[in-house]
Amino acid sequence: MYPLEDLDRIRHQMFNSFMEPFPVRQIGVLPSPGWTWWPPVDIRETDGEVIVSAELPGIDPKDLDITVNEDSLVLRGQTTAEQERTDRGYRLRERRYGSFHRSIPFPSQVKPDEAKANYRDGV
């Protein structure tokens, strides 16, 4: 952990809240039921392609819905936490659980019928 990690995390949350249609409550150490989250993504544009990589560790592909429109990619899904027990001894839980919905605008229009997706090692 580096000294400015918390500040960097908050900066990312503030930036991402402007990119989402509805701000998401993410400040805090322990997520509570009903909080939502979204997966971080990388977007690259090459000659003729827009490539989106999303971090989705622990997501079962059958729990993931991907919709490609001409101007955006929509990711919806859900991840479930292991049944929480008091004897687990958690001191900190930062991994997010629950449903997510993220709409990612493309830098240019795409052809949805030519879109491809693959899922390997949580990405």
Q: List the domains of the chain with CATH numbers.
A: 5-114 (2.60.40.790)
DSSP H/E element including 6: helix 5-19
Q: For residue 22, is it left (φ>0), alpha (ψ between -120 and 50) or beta?
A: beta
Q: Is the pLDDT of residue 83 over 80?
A: no
Q: Is the pLDDT of residue 27 over 50?
A: no
- At 100, the pLDDT band (50, 70, 90 cuts) reads confident
Q: Is the pLDDT of residue 67 over 90?
A: yes
Q: Is the pLDDT of residue 98 over 90?
A: no
Q: Is the pLDDT of residue 37 over 90?
A: no
Q: Is the pLDDT of residue 19 over 90?
A: no
Question: Please, is 56 exposed, middle or buried when counting C-beta atoms within 10 Å of its C-beta (0-12, 13-18, 19+)?
Answer: buried
Q: For residue 121, is it left (φ>0), alpha (ψ between -120 and 50) or beta?
A: left
| pLDDT of 29 | 41
Predicted TM-score of the model (pTM) = 0.61
Mean pLDDT of 70-89: 74
CA–CA separation, 101 and 99 (whole Å): 7
Mean pLDDT of 82-103: 68
Q: Is the pLDDT of residue 7 over 80?
A: no
CA dist 41 → 8, 75, 90, 120 (Å): 16, 11, 28, 15
Tell me which amino acid residue 118 is. N
Q: What is the mean pLDDT of the chain?
A: 75
**What would the two tokens of residue 104 be?**
């990612």
Q: Would you state the torsion angle of the CA atoms of residues 53, 54, 55, 61, taken in this order, to the nearest 10 degrees?
A: -110
| pLDDT of 94 | 66
